């Protein structure tokens, strides 16, 4: 299993995405965060189909930091049930993965 992960979440305000993103990088729970948006999300919520403009945050981190990163995202997240999911980084350039490891000590 790979040590490196990407963690995804969405938020309804760019300011919230920036605030949480910066805090997670400052705490060394993520080496970086990319914030994209606005994006359009279509989803089911409480029995209805909803549409919303959101900001997608993609954190680069390590598996051993996921729990703390999840807690950090959740603590400042405006949603009742935030999407916080991770995917493994199966491979990447050696220089990039070394940088990611150096910036996220466990």
pLDDT at 32: 98
Three-state DSSP class for residue 63: helix
CB 17 within 8 A of CB 35: yes
Q: Which residue range is the domain that position 13 belongs to?
A: 4-103
Count of beta carbons in the 10 Å neighbourhood of residue 79: 15
- What mean pLDDT comes out for the span 64-81? 97
Task: Give the CATH number, domain containing residue 81.
Answer: 3.30.70.120
Separation CA 62–CA 52 (nearest Å): 30
pLDDT at 76: 92
pLDDT at 2: 76
pLDDT at 60: 99
Is the whole-model pTM more than 0.75?
yes
For the chain, the domain total comes to: 1
Count of beta carbons in the 10 Å neighbourhood of residue 80: 7
Q: What is the pLDDT of residues 19-47, one digit of tens each?
A: 999 999 999 999 999 999 999 999 999 99
């Amino acid at each position: 299993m790979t040590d490196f992960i990407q963690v995804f979440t969405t938020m309804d305000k760019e300011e919230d995405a920036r605030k949480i993103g910066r805090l997670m990088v400052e705490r060394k729970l993520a080496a970086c965060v990319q914030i994209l948006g606005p994006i359009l999300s279509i989803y089911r919520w409480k029995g209805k189909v909803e549409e919303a403009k959101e900001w997608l945050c993609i954190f680069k981190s390590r598996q051993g930091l996921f729990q703390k990163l999840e807690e950090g995202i959740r603590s400042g997240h405006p949603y009742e049930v935030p999407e916080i999911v991770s995917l493994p980084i199966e491979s990447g350039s050696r220089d990039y993965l070394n940088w990611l490891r150096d910036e996220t000590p466990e």
